[in-house]
Amino acid sequence: MLKKGLVHVYTGFSKGKTTAATGLALRALGQGMRVLVVQFLKGGGSVSGEIKMLSKIPGAEIIRFADQRHPLFCKEGCDIAGLKKSIRRGFALAKEKALSGEYDIVILDEINNCVKEEWLDVEDVVSLIKERPGTLELVLTGRGCPKEIIELADYVTEMTVIKHPAENGLKARRGIEF
């Protein structure tokens, strides 16, 4: 549907990256576009409210990986080698789907974290950016986006914490933070 697809990056150390990306997905779905959201590092936990709602809308496809949980949220330790393998398999699937021409927008949620932690090579993401169909809008979220990706992106938004209730011990709240 788009004449020219662009690359978006939502990065930084504040909340709102996934919410911004899923807001864009909702906007696109409202215009009849086809959207794929691939979530890395968020398996095995609660499904966020925005993903629950997107999964109910025709034209949206959501892929999550049950065996991918960020080590910060593992209660009994994480198998980093297994996590890395899962991320690489997940990225291969995401790339295949992105290159298929079936979608107008592809969102790779938390992919920047995967690269930052060296669980995925930056060259893999750069390759996807360069090889994607010319009409595909590609959205990459997560902390620590590498400069190689920022340089290729058309939109770059950095979320910055100025004040957050977590600083005073308030835990994440259903419907607000997830």
pLDDT at 74 over 70: no
Whole-angstrom Cα distance, residue 91 to residue 81?
15
pLDDT recorded at residue 149: 98
**Which of residues 68 and 71 earns the better pLDDT score?**
68
Domain boundaries of the chain, sorted by first residue? 7-168
Answer whether 146's CB lies under 8 Å from 117's CB. Answer: no
Residue linked to tokens 């999964």:
55
Q: Please provide the size of the chain in residues.
A: 178
Burial class (CB in 10 A: 0-12, 13-18, 19+), 173: exposed
pLDDT at 72 over 90: no
Residue linked to tokens 């086809």:
34
CATH annotation of 7-168: 3.40.50.300
Whole-angstrom Cα distance, residue 117 to residue 112?
9
DSSP secondary structure letter of residue 57: S
Average pLDDT of the chain is 93
**Which of residues 43 and 76 earns the better pLDDT score?**
43
